[in-house]
Amino acid sequence: MITTTVFPGRYIQGYDALKGLGKEIARLGSRAFFICSPTVYSRILPAIQNDPGYSVKITAEKFGGECSDEEISRERQIAKKAGCDVIIGMGGGKTLDSAKAVAYYLKKPVIIVPTIASTDAPCSAVSVIHKPTGEMQGPLSLDRNPDVVLVDTHIVTQAPMRYLVAGMGDALSKRFEADSCRRKGAPNMTNTGHTGSMTAYALGDLCYQTLIRDGLAAVKAGLEQKVTPEVERIIEANTLLSGLAFENSGLAGAHAIEIAFSFSKETHQNLHGEIVGFCTLASLFLTNKDRALIDEVYTFSRSVKLPTTLADIGLGKATENDLLKTAHIVCSPGGLIYNEPVQVDEKAVVAAIQAADKEGKRRKGK
């Protein structure tokens, strides 16, 4: 058996870490192409462009809103025309995925600067490609992880708390999906066909324990835009630990169900991590986890206000037939659901979703 474990070239996190971005760019190139989310483009980028401390030439473009083949092609042409030799992605998950894809196609180094901690996209060698209309098209496997991931926790805590909580929902799944892949001997997400290492599985468990210990305290501090040790640890769990766990251990039921839910327009009002949070609960019923563990996960989810019912992710009116359609997508040949170490079929998936929804409703009624 061969294992493969991958990491970003350098991970930097802390209060005002953005002040070190110019030095990191200069290590890798002299002409930088910034792909920025609209908020970053208008509020953060001008200070960077006017900073005399930067020794590199900067070209910048506002992200078009969807990490699609069309958007990536547009950005590639701009970067190529400007002769840029290093790509910088600043913003949320789709902006960062787009920057990684541009760097991949141009064969340039990439620096990732997340301004929210809502997903584990920053550290991975994967870009999730969507159609221009928002539906997921599929993952693009890249040839290496980002050269630098720089997380300024002061900036992250200025974002609405919803993003940090969504990041916890995404991170919440990683212990259970890692455990399923370990038990099944399923391949990880490194595009090698290899399984995870003991390091990877341990990171998934550390991610979960950090959420349970520090999640609620981080939410309370984050609502006041304070950067406390708990906030720092949750941002690291959402960004680094969750990213290393999913890529090096593998994905399973929670993300299989989330991907299927993404085809329902009713869920598009929700963030990825919010949907994954509920799908993690469904996966626990699918794999027959013990009641004490299920209770712990529901208690945590409710404490930080993660979704615990179908209604919370826009599917409160979903019929059993609707759920069967979702389960049909989940159980497509070669799907992530088959990384679960139990017998899976469409009826079992529907039953797990319904059980998670029923339990969430019961607890809300307490």
Examine the domain organization and report whether 51 and 186 are in the same domain.
no
Q: Is the pLDDT of residue 53 over 90?
A: no
Residues 22 and 68 reside in one and the same domain = yes
pTM to 2 decimal places: 0.95
Query: Which residue, 156, 172, 204, sits at the end of a domain?
Result: 156
The string of pLDDT tens digits covering residues 253-312 is 999 999 999 989 999 999 999 999 999 999 999 998 799 999 999 999 999 999 999 999
Q: Looking at the structure, tell me whether residues 151 and 287 fall in a common domain.
A: no
Return the percentage of the chain with pLDDT > 90, whole number: 95
Which residues span the domain enclosing 292? 161-364
Residue at a domain's end among 131, 156, 181: 156
Average pLDDT in the 228-237 region? 98
Q: Do 30 and 141 have their domain in common?
A: yes
Residue 152 sits in the same domain as residue 167: no
1 lies in some domain: no
Residues 146 and 245 in one domain: no
Q: Last residue of a domain, which of 102, 128, 156?
A: 156
**199 pLDDT tier (thresholds 50, 70, 90):** very high
First to last CA, the chain: 48
In a domain, 175, yes or no: yes
pLDDT value at 135 more than 80: no
Burial class of residue 213 (count of CB atoms within 10 Å of its CB; 0-12, 13-18, 19+): middle
In a domain, 6, yes or no: no
Residues 134 and 283 placed together within one structural domain of the fold: no
Specify the CATH number for the domain of residue 319. Answer: 1.20.1090.10
Q: Clarify whether residues 301 and 314 are in a common domain.
A: yes
Is 3 contained in some domain?
no
For the domain that residue 29 is a member of, what is the CATH number? 3.40.50.1970
Are residue 352 and residue 212 in the same domain, yes or no? yes
pLDDT in tens, 316-356: 999 999 999 999 999 999 999 999 999 999 999 999 999 99
Q: Is residue 2 part of a domain?
A: no
Q: Are residues 169 and 276 in the same domain?
A: yes
